[in-house]
Structure 1
Amino acid sequence: MAEKKKILIRIGSLRHGGAEKVLINFLKNLPEDKYDVDLLINLYTGMYIQEVPSWVKLHYLLKGEMITTNRPHEIPVKAFRVLYQKMFLLFPSLLYRFILKNKKYDVEIAAIHGMYRELLSSPQKDSKKIIWIQNDIFNLKEYTPEIIKQFFRFDKILVISNKLKEEMQKLAKTDKEKQSVIKIFNPIDKEDTIRKADIPINDYPFSKNLPTFITIGTVYPQKGYDRLLDVHKKLLKEGLQHQIIIIGDGFDFENIQTKLNQLELQETVKMLGFRSNPYPYLKESDFYVMSSRHEGFPTIIAEALILNKPVVSTDVSGIKDLLQNGKLGIITSNSEDGIYEGMKKFLTDKELAKKYEMEITATDLPFVLQKSVSHLQEIIDTV
């Protein structure tokens, strides 16, 4: 029996988020007899904690709920957490000694781009280092080209779209650096998605008499829900009747709700807040609309395709890969006009949705779980 590869994986927490879900999907499908995995999270919190496979050793720096507000009594706790985590960043040997009990690793993986400093400061110089970039870091202000160039100190850089791969390779200085960038599809559990979509719900907000668009995601400005409401209003004025469901919560929720009320769209747009299982709503709707200003790899689009939904999306990172350059759905320019044109196509051409549904059914989707997991294993085994 070959000795198991010892792997350390690091992520901030296991709250509901794309990268967190991807990591859990991946861990659940790794062969236990091949790997000895330690998962280190900064904050022991989140809905995915209970989904970590029992054979994975879970370590954490701190316990408690994520604090997203600034109430006076929370500030000391926040400050303590920041300092405590900073201490381990400054003195990583303490972390490896006291929390990881001096275990030696073959491979260390940052499961999210924000962990790059933690991994590059690892006292274990011989371990192979992998970083998994699940976001369009070229759209994040704090990631300057200087910072991104540090990522080439990793042995492998996994990216989730061709666009990210091209951008990274432009910054590479050598062929070796260029080749360290590998595109990998985020694993999506097809059976799980279909099973969850079949769970009955009794609070679907609309009757079936009008075409219904759904969009799912945290309510942040980057999601472009403000643009979506303006487009919706414009289409209604032209007599193109339809409805929209928005699922998700976030700090922009109140703003979008206020805008919705100002535009008097209460009858045709429903904001349902967070749903731990949004798939039955997706299944019941006619189209998926993505109005985002930017994305990393919009997993939800892959899930919409698994459920055979026609998609209209702005041209954000990952979309050309997912919709196969427009073969599986409408890709619009990243603007209000683009969203308007795309939605209008579905509302005026009744046959278009059927055409996309047939294309989706006939396509072997590359992000299905087994394919992604075996690709990732191959990278870990050969790094």
Structure 2
Amino acid sequence: MGEKKKIFFFIYQLGSGGAARTMLNLLNNMDLDQFEPTLITLNYEGDYEKYLKEEITFIKLPTRRLRSGIIPFSKLIKKEKPAIVFSTIPNYNLIAIAARLLSGHKAKNIVREAALLGTEGKFNANLKLYGLAYRFSKKVVALSEGVRQNIIQNYKVHPKKVEVIYNPVDIENIETLMKQGEIAEEYQSIFHNPREKVIITAGRLVDDKDQATLIRAFATVRENIEANLIILGEGELEENLKNEVKAWNLEHAVYFAGFQENPYVYFHHADLFVLSSKREGFGHVLTEALATRVPIISTDARPGAAEVLDEGRYGVMTSVGDADALAAQMEDVLNWDNEKRTRVTEKGWERAASFRAEKIVKEYEMLFNQTIDQ
């Protein structure tokens, strides 16, 4: 056996977002005979820390401020001499690159980019900065083809540097959690009522996720079908969305269930999962919902949702922001017979399996090896 290759994984905290889930899935599925991964975060308590395998070294920098992390991070790089410093999310990528440069060590940076920054004509100063910084990185991982094109066009990064690797989905873990998990007591009666359908969505309560359009569509669905809507997630628009619910007199039918550590048991027992986003870099929640075998409707949130669902082969697609069209699709799917539902959800599960963590992690491992050998 040759010497193991040391890889640093950097993220601000192992919190509850998609980037943290990707890091967790990567770390927990790495080949530990070949690599020696170390997770580095700022000094936070993250929701997902308890799921990190014990064999993975975990170091917290002694600060919660990003900029203050550069010097301790660079000292760590100098001392431990990793072959690769891998990071995700633009601001954290800048910190990882700065720390590596400051360390004077010849580690190579690989940055992962999930967002579609610059697609609205703002962020231009930031984009120039990211583009410049990414020149000091050996590779940029884009989590969809659409994100790759955006990085090349808006960040002005050389196309040869940018590789698409989809998000890893830990299907086995999702299946275990969905079967063994418990729905919180206050929501159990909703799922046990055979006369009423359950529609579910999950995501941060922010403008990009556009739950407001879903609430409006749901108001229309309620005129014809007895149903409840459960909204998983937290965020700055919670009050606004609750006011929207009040405006439609839907307080008795819409439930804000907050952040749930195990959303999969909710997805699995729902009749329909809906994603109403305006934009998605990848749409990680769609792959997870597919893995729980629930029928899916998603807006044509570019580029990610369209890629995950392959333009509608694996889930029903509808236009962004169109509450009427969404309502019509929701009614249609809720009226499917069992045979059609099973056929569609089995196909969806096969799609989720194509993002299996083991397969995606192998792609990362190949990238790490190629970059080390460059």
TM-score interval (norm. to shorter)? 0.7 to 0.9
Within 5 Å, give how 1:18-57 maps onto structure 2.
18-57=18-57
Deviations 1:5-56 (A, max 9, x none): 1222211111111111111111111122222223221223112223333333
1:72 corresponds in structure 2 to none
User: Does structure 1 residue 192 correspond to structure 2 residue 173?
Assistant: yes
Secondary structure, aligned partner of 1:229 = helix
Which of 111, 116, 124 matches 1:136? 116
Secondary structure, aligned partner of 1:102 = helix
Shift of 1:285: 0.7
Residues 332 and 341 of structure 1 are in contact (CA less than 8 Å); yes or no, is this contact kept in structure 2? no
Shift of 1:324: 1.7
Deviations 1:161-184 (A, max 9, x none): 12111222334768xx21211111
Shift of 1:110: 1.0
- Matches of 1:342 and 1:359 in 2, distance apart? 19
2:141 corresponds in structure 1 to 158
RMSD (CA atoms) = 2.5
1:267 corresponds in structure 2 to 252
Secondary structure, aligned partner of 2:80 = coil
Residues 127 and 155 of structure 2 are in contact (CA less than 8 Å); yes or no, is this contact kept in structure 1? no
Which of 281, 297, 306 matches 1:320? 306
User: Does structure 1 residue 330 correspond to structure 2 residue 316?
Assistant: yes
Deviations 1:266-319 (A, max 9, x none): 232222222111211111111110011223322221111111111111112311
Which of 289, 292, 305 matches 2:274? 289
User: Does structure 1 residue 343 correspond to structure 2 residue 324?
Assistant: no
- CA 1:117/1:364 → structure 2, altered by over 3 Å: closer, same or farther? closer
User: Does structure 1 residue 12 correspond to structure 2 residue 40?
Assistant: no
Shift of 1:230: 1.2
Moved more, 193-202 or 308-317: 193-202
**Letter in structure 2 aligned against 1:226:** A
The unaligned stretches of length 5 or more in structure 1 are: 64-80
**Letter in structure 1 aligned against 2:327:** Y
Within 5 Å, give how 1:63-212 maps onto structure 2.
81-82=64-65, 85-89=66-70, 92=71, 95-97=73-75, 99=76, 102-121=79-98, 122=100, 123=102, 124=104, 126-138=106-118, 141-142=122-123, 144-150=126-132, 151-171=134-154, 177-199=158-180, 200-201=182-183, 202=185, 203-206=187-190, 207-212=193-198
The unaligned stretches of length 5 or more in structure 2 are: none
1:66 corresponds in structure 2 to none
Residues 131 and 156 of structure 2 are in contact (CA less than 8 Å); yes or no, is this contact kept in structure 1? no
Secondary structure, aligned partner of 1:62 = coil
- Matches of 1:361 and 1:34 in 2, distance apart? 31
What is the total number of aligned residue pairs between the two structures?
A: 357
Residues 212 and 241 of structure 2 are in contact (CA less than 8 Å); yes or no, is this contact kept in structure 1? yes
- Matches of 1:169 and 1:341 in 2, distance apart? 38
- Matches of 1:364 and 1:120 in 2, distance apart? 33
Shift of 1:106: 1.2
2:216 corresponds in structure 1 to 230
Deviations 1:62-92 (A, max 9, x none): 36xxxxxxxxxxxxxxxxx54xx42444xx4
**Letter in structure 1 aligned against 2:294:** K
- CA 1:363/1:249 → structure 2, altered by over 3 Å: closer, same or farther? closer
TM-score by length of 1: 0.84
Identity %: 23
**Letter in structure 1 aligned against 2:222:** L
Moved more, 141-150 or 33-42: 141-150
- Matches of 1:259 and 1:295 in 2, distance apart? 23
- CA 1:205/1:250 → structure 2, altered by over 3 Å: closer, same or farther? farther
Residues 228 and 336 of structure 1 are in contact (CA less than 8 Å); yes or no, is this contact kept in structure 2? no
Secondary structure, aligned partner of 1:137 = coil
- CA 1:171/1:216 → structure 2, altered by over 3 Å: closer, same or farther? closer
Secondary structure, aligned partner of 2:110 = strand
- Matches of 1:218 and 1:139 in 2, distance apart? 20
Residues 292 and 349 of structure 2 are in contact (CA less than 8 Å); yes or no, is this contact kept in structure 1? no
Deviations 1:187-233 (A, max 9, x none): 11111101111124343342132332110122222221111111111
**Letter in structure 2 aligned against 1:118:** I
**Letter in structure 1 aligned against 2:131:** K
Shift of 1:101: 6.0
Shift of 1:115: 1.2
Which of 335, 343, 358 matches 1:370? 358
- Matches of 2:345 and 2:26 in 1, distance apart? 28
- CA 1:136/1:329 → structure 2, altered by over 3 Å: closer, same or farther? same
